[in-house]
A and B are shown apart, each in its own frame.
Chain A
Amino acid sequence: MRQDARTPWFFLGPNLFIFGVFTFLPIVINLYYAFTGGVQLYPRDRPYVGFENLATLLDCGSYFDPSSCRKDIFWRAVWNTARFSVFQVSLMVLFSLGTALVLNRKIIGRGFWRGVYFYPVLLSPVVVALIWKWVLQREGLLNAGMVAAGANPVLWLAEPGWAFFWVIFVSIWAHMGFYTLILLAGLQAIPADLYEAAQMDRASPWRTLYRITLPLLLPNLLVVLVLAAIRAVQIFDEVFVLTGGGPGSATTFVVQFIYQTGFQEQVRLYGLAAAGSLLLALALVVLTLIQLRATRADKAGERAR
């Protein structure tokens, strides 16, 4: 009996150890940094400052107006991240769903198209950003095409509005395939006889989608929604290479602010960066709780049915 009780721990142990050292321990250290100040790297050299770092970040006339905040870049990054998350997630889910619905049908070259849509997921974010940078820069492919067609070139990455649009676009292009796959799996799990029954009842395609497909796909949609939201809040690598957070701070997001504050400046404010990451973690915890609640509600709904 004793040996049986120990066996699971034997298998879980290594993973727990790695998780503990590389995830939980950094979280604890980060907490410590968030409540200390100075520019020293080692925790023992850092003076305790209490909530000073958090107070600095939260020092605003109005949270809706970053220019009234002491750390205006942080609040620009927060609102950029919020806007990015809303647009990117909703459009991502929409496009992924649409693509999954099409790829679930018997179309010519279905296997090929499924591969094509998944391919960008395999690319490194840096490669994705560099490719699109070459396409979108002043003398890039897109402007070359526009000039050839008689139009004027556009500063796609130097105009704040366009830069934000392209950051969303590139992010969707790069990650859509992954979510399409999840939704495709969900679609394929829906029993075919339900569609046959709907066909016999002469239900319209829209009604079939609304009454059969979407309700049964809801668990997968929730997973996609929350995963996409968590990923959107953490956006950094593609944007850093594509726009560098510019123009100005138009595409600066929270993770870039943390990186800049903690690692890029000569005077590295590790405490402030750690406090920023605490606030980011709070947002992620909220999103995760929403997912758990939504999943539980969905399971309760299933049980009731």
Chain B
Amino acid sequence: MRTTTARSIAGLTFIVLASAAQAADLRVQCYSDGNECEVTGDLAKRFEAENPGTKVIIDKVPYKAVVEQLPVQLAAGEGPDIARVTDLGGLSKYYLDLAPLLPAARAKAWQDNFASSLAWFRSGAADRGIYGLMSQLTVTGAFVNKTLFEQAKVAMPGPTATWDDWMEAARKVAVATKTPFAMAMDRSGHRFAPLAVAYGAKIFDANGVPVIDAGYQTAARKFVDWHKAGLMPKEVWGGVGGSQYRDAFEEFANGRVVVYYSGSWQIKRMDTQVTKAFDWAVAPAPCGPSGCTAMPGGAAFVALKHTKVPAEAAKFLDFLSRDDNYKELMARTENIPASLSVAKAGVTYNVSANAKAALNSFVADVPKIAKANYDLQGYRFNRAVFLPTAQRLGQAVAGEMSADDALKRLAADVDEQVKAASK
């Protein structure tokens, strides 16, 4: 009896261990701008059905965890198998090259369809690896409260309107409708960059090193002056300390600003939370003396070097990159596709008229994006520019220092961080 029981237990244990050894758990750390994690979860179930033995576990985390905790985890050799990240260049040393793990035909499809964004993940010009899948291509832009413009009987500026034109129009609307502020911008150097380039910032010097040049300074002074004039709310840029990110979505959704400069990743949120409150639209990229531009960006799923299931990780990302799945991901998350073939074929968005028009407006801005903005997005240490910009301009907006002092400090911070990163 005892021997039979012992044998049964041993047999059961063997079965459990054996099945555990065959099953591969693929952990995906994901943050959502709208519903990206949920849609990815649905696609993951289909992947599991096609690949029995692989279990995909989606760990949904706040964006802050991806920005602050993931890099430390990765530096310690820990972390998920796949992560959805926005610091594409900064984390490049941790990425798994998918190219050797993909069938030749699929690797070619990746190179052809995602050519424009693959460079953002690479460590240099000589690097031809495939490191990640853009889960969205984003473009910054201005959301406009159309209802307020209509109530104020102020015409919306045209396609070549400058930042000053938009500010003046929004100011008139704010006064007429008793809206507290004309414009708000997310507290982010990434959002500030198109304003800077529109006013002549080159971003990089001849050696490819970031520089706070005259154009950047002009834009910064203008930005601080807008806050001083009460056209922009102090609490967004001046209300928190350090380089912390803060969006101004709530200010726009609550009708406290007329124009909100953010980006295309907000479309889903606008559609679900704002459409029922008022009519909104996306303005064409505001212009400056140097042109009309926006900032590209996006979040990507990347497989990480330390993963114990590299083949499965590559398979899953390849599954997501397939035209049918990628199209569904874009349609359901209301994002702009980074895949050339999907963009050419078109994505059918089941969205409101506002969201559809917004997506078209953002897509129309893509050709206008200046080279400096593309280069900045692809620069490995772009956060060494973005984060100090948020901190120092935040201090100037809060009245802690003058714009000139803030710019001097900003230049020193960028210089220090870039030098430290190069060590």
Contact = CB atoms under 8 A, between A and B. Distances in A.
Interface residues on A, range: 35 or more
A252 B235 contact: no
A156 to B, nearest CB: 10
Interface stretch (A190-198, A259-267, A279-287): A259-267
A77 to B, nearest CB: 9
Contacts of B243: 260, 264-265
A245 interface: yes
B235 A245 contact: no
B242 A245 contact: yes
A266 B75 contact: no
Nearest to B417: A267
Interface stretch (B165-173, B280-288, B306-314, B396-404): B396-404
Contact of A244 (B90, B239, B395, B412): B239
Nearest to A137: B235
A268 interface: yes
A1 B234 CA distance: 72
Contacts of B420: 37-39, 267, 269
Q: Is the interface of A mostly helix, strand, loop or mixed?
A: loop
A37 B423 CA distance: 9
A41 B395 contact: no
A39 B242 contact: no
Interface in B397-423: 397-401, 405, 409, 412, 417-418, 420-421, 423
A98 interface: no
B97 interface: no
B423 A264 contact: no
Contacts of A260: 242-243
Given A41-B72, A249-B395, A266-B87, A256 B238 contact: no
B394 interface: yes
B244 interface: yes
Contacts of B152: none
B158 interface: no
Interface of B: 68, 71-72, 75-76, 87, 90, 234-235, 238-244, 246, 254, 381, 383-384, 386-387, 391, 394-395, 397-401, 405, 409, 412, 417-418, 420-421, 423
Interface of A: 37-42, 47, 67, 70, 72-73, 138-139, 155, 157-158, 160, 243-252, 256, 260, 263-269
26 contacts: A41-B72, A41-B75, A67-B401, A158-B238, A160-B400, A243-B241, A246-B240, A246-B241, A246-B398, A247-B234, A247-B240, A247-B394, A247-B398, A247-B400, A248-B394, A248-B398, A251-B241, A252-B242, A265-B383, A265-B384, A265-B387, A266-B384, A266-B421, A267-B381, A267-B421, A268-B71
Given A244-B240, A249-B242, 9 more contacts: A38-B420, A157-B235, A158-B398, A244-B241, A245-B241, A248-B395, A248-B401, A249-B400, A267-B384
